[in-house]
Amino acid sequence: MRRIDVLGIGIGVFVAGGVAYLVLQAAGMDNLEAGIWSQFLLVGGLVGWLLTYLFRVGTKNMTYNQQVKDYEDAVLQKRLEEMTPEELAKLQAEIEQEKQQATPPPTSKP
């Protein structure tokens, strides 16, 4: 995120708080009550944003993680493209061997 984006979001939140305050005053609340409710709305929004952020961190659904995954996929794809047919056949044989070792043999029930 660029600095100008951060400044824009900060100014937007500041303006949103002022607008909420003015709307609550226009709805008939006194100054103190409108201030408390506008702060409550802003803090509630902040907590909501924080929870979505923590959820994205927990599920590893963030931009950095996606960029790393895309890079790793591209590197692997390039390596596969550079392999000779013999190397590809050898790799495929190794993968099949690992699959057979990873899956336990079926057990028969009496």
Residue pLDDT tens, the chain, 110 long:
788 998 998 899 899 999 999 999 999 999 999 999 999 999 999 999 899 989 988 888 888 888 899 999 999 999 988 888 898 889 899 989 988 887 766 666 65
Q: DSSP for 93-110, please give it.
A: HHHHHHHHHHSPPPPPP-
Domain ranges of the chain: 1-59, 62-100
65: helix, strand or coil: helix
**Residue 18 confidence (pLDDT):** 93
**Which pLDDT score, from 0 to 100, does residue 4 have?**
92
Q: What is the DSSP string of 49-70?
A: HHHHHHHHHHTT-SHHHHHHHH
Q: What is the pLDDT of residue 108?
A: 63
- Looking at residue 101, what is its pLDDT? 86
CA distance 69 to 77: 12
pLDDT at 20: 93
Q: Which two tokens stand for residue 56?
A: 């994205």
This prediction has a pTM of 0.55
